[in-house]
Structure formats: C-alpha cells, structure tokens
Structure 1
Amino acid sequence: MSATVPDSPIIHFLPYQKAWISDQSRFKIGMFTRRGGKTFGAAGEIVDDCIRAEIEGQKTRWTILSRSEQTAKEALDDALKPMTRAYYAVVSGLARRTKPEFVEDEFTVAAHVRELRQGDQVFQVEIPEARYKTQEVHFPGGSRVVALSASPDAARGFGGNLLLDEFAFHADSRRIWGSAYPVAARGRHKIRVISTPNGKGNKFYELMTTQNNGWSKHHVDIYEAVRQGLDVDIDELRAGMADQDAWAQEFELAWLDEASAWLDYDLISACEHPEAGDPSGYQGGLCYVGVDIAARNDLYVIWVLELVGEILVTREIIARRRISFAEQDRLLDDVMARYRVSRLRMDQTGMGEKPVEDARRRYGEFRTEGVLFSVAPKLDMATSLKEHMQDRRLLIPSGDSALRADLHAVKSQVGLTGVRRLVADRDADGHADRFWAAALAVSAADLPAFQVGYEAVEQPVGHNGGHDMFENHAPGWWRTPLGFGSRRVF
C-alpha cells in the first residue's frame, strides 16, 4: 500500500510536513526550524497511522516522549487531540472497511479512508469518536497514543512506536536512547525523532550527523519553510530574537557547541596582567566588590576591582572553602576597611539573604546590594563582564589556572523558548564561583555612583590597629565602620 498524505480545508499540511508524513521509513529523524510546526507534522503521521489501523481492523500504539510533562501535555492538547477531532468531524463517524485496494486519485481528509472496494461493493461501518484523557488518546478500535515526560524509565517501559519530541533538549538523552532503542528493535516498531538543534553534546546531534546509519533524515530551516509556504516574517523574527547565536541555532539550525564557554581561553588570556590581583598595587581609587556566597562545598569568593582611569583592575581575589559565616564576615569587613568601596554587590539567592542583610547594616544600604540569581540578572551580569573583557577594560591576574578554569566553566545554552541561559558544570573546585564574583563586581561598577559627603572623625590613620595603608593620603582619611577612614554625613 502506498501512503498518500491527507490534506483538507480543516487541516493544512505544508509540503515539508507532507514529506514527513509520507516517509514510512522505520527509523526517521527530522531537524526543523522553530515555528515550523514539527510537532504538528509528527502528530499528523501518528493520527494517520492510527486511523489506518482502525480502518483495517488492527491496533497500533504510539508513545510520545517530550522533554517535560508540560511539553508532553502540549503535544497532545495543541496538536494530536485537535487533529484527531478534526479527522472524526470530517469523516462524520463513517469509515469504509474492506480489502486494501485503493483508488489512486488524490483525496482529502474528508475522504481520508478513500474508496476501499471489494469488486463493485463499498463497505461502510459506523465508528464512535475517540476518547481523550490528560495524557492519552484512545481510538475506538483499540489504538492508543500516550504522551509522557522523557526519562530512561519511561523509555524502557513504552510500548509500540515511539516519537522523541525535541529530543536534543531531553535530559540524559543518551540514557533515554539506550533504554528506548532495544525495546523498539525487539518489537519491529517505528522510531521518529524531531528537534531543533541544541549543541553537539547530545544523542540527537549524533543521530542526525552520522552518515549511513540507516536513518531517513529531514532538514528544514526557516528559509526553506517559508519558501514552502510557512507564513512568518523572517526579518521580524530575527529582530525579535535579538541574539545572533540563538537565531542561528533555533531558525538556521546551526550546530552551536553547547559546551562552548561564555568566556573562551583566548579572551581570558587577553585580559590577564601580571600586576593584577596584587593588593599592594592599590592606588587608593574607588573600588567595586562582588561577593559570591558559599553553599556547602562551593567557594566563598570576594572579588575587588579598582577603577584606574577607564580600566577596572583586579586588586584582590579571596576564595575560601567551608568557612564559617563569622569568618566570611571577618574577611568582608577587612576588605571594606582596606579599600575605598563605592559599591558592594552580593549573591542574595537562598542562603545569601542573611549575609546581605548583615552587610547592609554594617556598610550602609546606599552602597550594598543583594542580587537574586534568576536567569535575566545572571545574563545581564555575564554580558557586562564579557563586554568589559572584549573591550579590554578589565584586568585579571595571570598564571592562576584555577581562576582561568572557573572563568571558562560557564556555558551558554539556548532553551526551547529561545531564551539564553548560563550554566556551569559542578566540578572539584566549585561552581564557577569566581566567575560570578567577578560578574557581580563588574556589574557594581556599571551602576551610577552615589554622591556621598564625609567628615573626619577622631581616630587618625596610623593608629588603627595596623591598618596604615592610607598614611600617605591627605589629612581627612580616617577609620570608621563605614570603611576607608571616613563616616557618612547627610
């Protein structure tokens, strides 16, 4: 039986979707542009297969594994269920069943089953509507479609044919594949894989790029989709994305390396300077401090930048592991006393709430700020850090392999929604804690400076328990709890 793709005034398939549905290869993989209707086309094949099984008095089963429970539900609610209802609405509960001798002319969904004839007779049987559940569609003849959140256990337990939806974004894609493929191979079932790309470190990339692996492959980027009738404005989409890497991956289907660092080693090396990181080089200028709060085995990091002309020079990086909160406070007190800190930014996420509250009380609310590490603030800070390094407006210590590894550890990824996010693999030396301390310090320097007045207090420099670094400054530099030998007046 040769497959012909349905179309109708109710359900319209674009040519590349028809090509997907018509392709009856046992193993089939497709890389499609965002907004191109890949899940819709995949649902078209599943419904078509189930309807054919119903007509022929057989049963088929499909399992859809999506990256999350929500996306699995969307695949059913937004594509498969409406399409099934449309088929039944057009067919009006009638199907024709007989031997599979098909009329060879074109047909539409309204006559999806076409003329199934035995001699001059046409057989018609009335069938009931399919039943719909939250994660399942049950066809009256016993065929069934189930949509689940992807996991190795779900892949191991599926039955029948398999659709891996947005497979490049599945967590543990290799383990899922290792569980799913043997089940399909034993049962001679079909496997369909669809996705936009998500870097090179996943099973989707391997399946799509391996030559002569027995897979039928479909590739439709945004330009080809529009050429074949997709009604979108490419220029408007690109402008709205406002991110060239994200555009290249999501719409042009470029293989961006998901393991590529936000800061590459060449950029890091270009910003290294032998005098950076030495506190004795401090020139007495305004400073900006970033603090990444420690959690369990992570590092507690204080990063101090001094503004020298238009350059932010790293004056000191303090990194400690598994120290008490009291010791963290002592270290930060010492930094605030030794430098003219214009602004302090601290990670306020989770356990950072109390340290930030304490710091605001000790150093003043006007120059102390907590930052909640949600996606948008992290991206803003990381972007500012990268731009300062690209413009060579940030100097960092040289010869520190742990620092270089931490700065290189943060990876850029673009998710299903097209939103870029930054992640770092946890390793033996923390969780990119130095990176985020640097980003906090640079972002502190980006903020407008406060206008603050000062007046001298009683205790002069040189008699403050050993903090004599300001002895050579002009009279009026004094020690107070606010730091750098002065107190705030309003």
Structure 2
Amino acid sequence: MIPPVLYPYQLRYLRDPAKFKAAMFARQTGKTFTTTLEIVNHVLEGMAAGKPARWTIMSISKARALDAMDNGVKLHLQAYKTAFKAVEVDLGGDDLAFEVRLPGGSRIRAIAANATTARGMTENLFLDEFAFHKDSRAIWTALLPVVSRPELMLRIASTPNGKNNKFYKIMADNDGLFSRHTTDIYQAVADGMPRDIEMLRKAMKDPAAWAQEFECRFVDGGAAWLSFDIIGACESASAGNPALYAGQPCAVGMDIARRGDLTVITVLENIFGLWIAREIIELQNVKFSDQMAELARVMRQYRVVCAAIDQTGMGEKFVEDAKDLFGKERVAGILFTGPAKLNMATALKEAMEDRKLLIPVSVELRGDLHSVKRVQGASGAPRLVADRSEVEGSHADRFWSLALAVLASAGEVVDFSLCASAGTTAGAALNDYESTDRGWGTVTRVANGY
C-alpha cells in the first residue's frame, strides 16, 4: 500500500514498523505527509483484517490540524479510492476535532494539542511538529500511560526548535526506546527532492535559523536572550506600517551609529496598553545632521511622549542637540553601561513574554533580536553580547533600538492633545520650529531643513 511517489528517506521512515518512532526532518520535506500516509496504511490494513484502528493527530494549532487532515489523511484516502465521512466534533470551549470516519469503526482525527485533552486518549498517536507544542513535557507526561499499551503506536515528527522541549530530549537520548530518523536538507536533496540549497540558504539570511530549520541541528537557545519562540509570538503583519498609525501616544528608541553599524529608530504606538512598532527606520553611514533630520521627522509625524537615545560615545552631543530641539522632558539620554543594558534587555524580554509588544515580520529583525546572548563575565556578573556573524550589517542595533523604545514607553503616558497649551509649549521647547495648537507631533519646520 505504498504509492510510488516517495523519496528514499520517506520510504525508510514509512517502512519502519517500530512501536515508538521519531522523525526529525528539515522544513518542507514531507514529514506530515509521510506520517499521515503511514496512519492511513495502518487503518486500511486493520480494516482488511477486521480490526478497527483509531488514530489521533495532535498538531500545534487548529489550522495545522485541519491541514494535516486535508493535505494528508484525506488526500491519501482519496488516492486509495476509499470512502469516508468527514466531520467536525466540538470538544468544548474553542477546541475542535477534525475527523474522518471509516466503515467498521475506524477513525482518524486531528486536534490542537494540549495536556488536558491528551489525558483522555486511548488510541494510536501522532505528535506533529512536537518541538513547537506548548507545554510539550506536560503533554508527554499525559500521553505516556496511553501509548504504553502494547497494541498502540506513537509517531513523533518535527523540525528542531532549540533544546528546551521534550522533542530534543527524545532525539538526544540513546535509550533504545525510540526508532529515530533524521533527514536534513542535504540528505533530502541527495535522495532526489528538487531543492536549490544555495538559494534557500541565501533567502533565509539567518545562520542560526538555517542550521535549525534545514540542517536539523538543535540550536541552543539557552544562551540567546530572546528565543525564536518569544520573538515569533510577537510578530504581526499589522506592525511596521506607518499608514496604520492611529494618532495615539508614542515612545521612540534610537540606537546611534556613524560608520559600519546601523542607526535604528523604532517608533512604538500605545493602543490600549499594547505597544505596536509602527515604524522602524534604519540608516547606515548617514551624517549626524541627516540622522537628526530623520528624528525630527519622526517627532513631527507621531505624538512622541518620550524618545530614549543612546548617549554613549558619539551619542553625547547628539542627545544634547536633541534635547535643545525637542525639549528635555521628551528626550532621555541613555548611557550603555553594563547594568543599564541588562535592565533595558530585561524590560524588553518581559514585554515580549507578556505579549505587550508587536513587531514586524522580518528576517533581519528576528535575527537581530536573537543575536544577543547572555554570558557570564569574569567577575561572575552576567553581561550581554551580540554575535556579529548572526546578522549581516548589524551589531544588534535593531535589538537595542527596540529596547530603548520599550524603556521610553515605561514612563507615564500623557495625552497632550487634552492640553490647550501643548502647541505653545512645544514651540518654546523647539526654538526654531513653529508652534501649533494641535498637540505634540504636529510641529512644522521653519529653519533647519528638518
């Protein structure tokens, strides 16, 4: 019952009859497709022998569960010209089971994984993308008594996701319990899968992500200040678009550079307590006067309550000039001492862990945020370092700009539009800028080309 469309690495995995089997495949190499084929084969063979079989697929989300059914289970059943009934079963709350029912009592269903649901299982199990399951250890604890029954099988398939999950433990242990299969992108291509490895590597632009997603290496996220999980949970397609600015108070962070590294200006808008990155401006090898012009544009365009600017080294005079232009109350100069950097990074991490921050979906930003590591200093005190090799053309500049913006957001948010004198005060603070009666962020240029 094996259609002749599989590559050798898929056939090796498919033909392995082990009770406990784990597959670590590179991205988009067919791990779910192959495992759902094995499930369908097992069910149909059981039906032919008069032995009904039941399987549950536990996916990372409802959308992925539905995809496993539509582009896996149903596809294979249709290829075998097998009749089935597809239903959706309400499991309570927001939980749904996508199910196919076959003659004789056999059933295959797919659900979003959680430990509570797992405790009620009495059937064969497939943990799809297990490394990405929330609370994977709790799910494993709940499932182990189920699959310990001699007649039941367990299938686990995933791409690596760091070392802080149960999938890493399963793949790393040499316990004789699991039959383990690993297929990186190189093996998949060698076995005939048509992929341009160099094109994929260049498109990824992130060595750590490439190592994990395509080379099947467990990248140790323990040293990374922000894990890919934390970063990914804060990414949103609605962030990074200035056109969506809603006119609410903003916080700005500016990491300064002159040669080599980036100057990055990050604008966060406060929408009911959620800080959304409305704009991230990157400047490289740009004169300080032009950098000030860009900051002035930001201060005009947005209602900026506070701008936190890197005052270290070359930033000293820049911060002084910014305070003269925009007011000492609105500009804070931050010296990048060890303790200050740790405090800023901690505030950023907490904001992201608490899902109080939305950032654009960007390979460069993701890599920059992940590039900062926590290491132990010679004195035993922790310090933060950035790996220049992780993101081309940046030394965590986007990270520190975002951290500065989060620091700026920590102050009391004042709605200056409620103050009749806001425009006049702004004009006094900005000296050579016109005053207005429309509040912060609407001051227009007079003299300096800003």
TM-score scaled by length of structure 2: 0.58
- Paired with 2:113 and 2:344, the residues of 1 have a C-alpha distance of 36
Residue 52 of structure 2 aligns to which amino acid in structure 1?
A: K
1:351 corresponding residue in structure 2: 272
Cα offset, 1:147, TM superposition: 0.3
- Paired with 2:144 and 2:275, the residues of 1 have a C-alpha distance of 50
Matched, 1:6 2:2: yes
- Paired with 1:256 and 1:239, the residues of 2 have a C-alpha distance of 19
Residue 367 of structure 1 aligns to which amino acid in structure 2?
A: M
Matches within 5 A, 1:13-162: 13-88=6-81, 129-134=83-88, 135-162=98-125
1:190-228 per-residue CA deviation (whole Å, 9 max, x = no partner) reads 111000000010000011101124110000000101111
**Is contact 2:59-2:110 (8 Å) kept?**
yes
RMSD, aligned CA: 4.5
Unaligned runs of at least 5 residues, structure 2? 89-97, 228-249, 279-294, 304-309, 316-333, 354-360, 373-398, 409-424, 435-444
**Is contact 2:46-2:52 (8 Å) kept?**
yes
2:299 to 367, 383, 390: 367
2:396 corresponding residue in structure 1: none
Matches within 5 A, 1:136-285: 136-186=99-149, 188-261=151-224
1:342-377 per-residue CA deviation (whole Å, 9 max, x = no partner) reads x986421423699999xxxxx997624559xxxxxx
- Paired with 1:189 and 1:168, the residues of 2 have a C-alpha distance of 22
1:232-253 per-residue CA deviation (whole Å, 9 max, x = no partner) reads 2222222222222221111111
Cα offset, 1:436, TM superposition: 3.1
Residue 19 of structure 1 aligns to which amino acid in structure 2?
A: R
Cα offset, 1:130, TM superposition: 2.1
**Is contact 1:364-1:482 (8 Å) kept?**
no
**Is contact 2:253-2:267 (8 Å) kept?**
no
Cα offset, 1:184, TM superposition: 1.6
Cα offset, 1:418, TM superposition: 10
**Is contact 2:347-2:407 (8 Å) kept?**
no
- Paired with 2:208 and 2:223, the residues of 1 have a C-alpha distance of 12
- Paired with 1:62 and 1:353, the residues of 2 have a C-alpha distance of 41
Residue 483 of structure 1 aligns to which amino acid in structure 2?
A: A
Cα offset, 1:482, TM superposition: 5.1
Secondary structure of the 2:127 match is strand
1:483 corresponding residue in structure 2: 429
Cα offset, 1:59, TM superposition: 0.7
Residue 272 of structure 2 aligns to which amino acid in structure 1?
A: M
Instruction: Decide whether aligned partners of structure 1 residues 408 and 308 sit closer, same or farther in structure 2, where only a CA change above 3 A counts.
Output: closer
TM-score scaled by length of structure 1: 0.54
Matched, 1:397 2:343: no
Cα offset, 1:88, TM superposition: 2.1
- Paired with 2:220 and 2:165, the residues of 1 have a C-alpha distance of 10
Residue 114 of structure 2 aligns to which amino acid in structure 1?
A: S
1:336 corresponding residue in structure 2: none
Larger radius of gyration: 1
- Paired with 2:341 and 2:157, the residues of 1 have a C-alpha distance of 41
Instruction: Decide whether aligned partners of structure 1 residues 402 and 65 sit closer, same or farther in structure 2, where only a CA change above 3 A counts.
Output: same
**Is contact 2:60-2:129 (8 Å) kept?**
yes
Instruction: Decide whether aligned partners of structure 1 residues 28 and 263 sit closer, same or farther in structure 2, where only a CA change above 3 A counts.
Output: closer
- Paired with 2:77 and 2:277, the residues of 1 have a C-alpha distance of 55
Matched, 1:436 2:402: yes
Larger mean CA deviation between 134-143 and 59-68 belongs to 134-143
- Paired with 1:188 and 1:218, the residues of 2 have a C-alpha distance of 22
1:358-412 per-residue CA deviation (whole Å, 9 max, x = no partner) reads xxxxx997624559xxxxxxxxxxxx9xxx99xxxx9612444852652784899
Residue 240 of structure 1 aligns to which amino acid in structure 2?
A: A
- Paired with 1:354 and 1:6, the residues of 2 have a C-alpha distance of 52
Secondary structure of the 1:6 match is coil
Instruction: Decide whether aligned partners of structure 1 residues 311 and 254 sit closer, same or farther in structure 2, where only a CA change above 3 A counts.
Output: closer
Instruction: Decide whether aligned partners of structure 1 residues 232 and 401 sit closer, same or farther in structure 2, where only a CA change above 3 A counts.
Output: closer
- Paired with 1:211 and 1:81, the residues of 2 have a C-alpha distance of 35
- Paired with 2:216 and 2:45, the residues of 1 have a C-alpha distance of 33
Unaligned runs of at least 5 residues, structure 1? 90-128, 265-299, 313-342, 358-362, 372-383, 425-432, 443-478
Residue 337 of structure 2 aligns to which amino acid in structure 1?
A: P
Instruction: Decide whether aligned partners of structure 1 residues 418 and 148 sit closer, same or farther in structure 2, where only a CA change above 3 A counts.
Output: farther
- Paired with 1:408 and 1:351, the residues of 2 have a C-alpha distance of 18
- Paired with 2:426 and 2:99, the residues of 1 have a C-alpha distance of 68
The size of the alignment, in residue pairs, is 310
- Paired with 2:73 and 2:137, the residues of 1 have a C-alpha distance of 26
Percent identity reads: 34
Cα offset, 1:163, TM superposition: 0.2
**Is contact 2:266-2:402 (8 Å) kept?**
no
**Is contact 2:54-2:106 (8 Å) kept?**
yes
Instruction: Decide whether aligned partners of structure 1 residues 61 and 396 sit closer, same or farther in structure 2, where only a CA change above 3 A counts.
Output: same
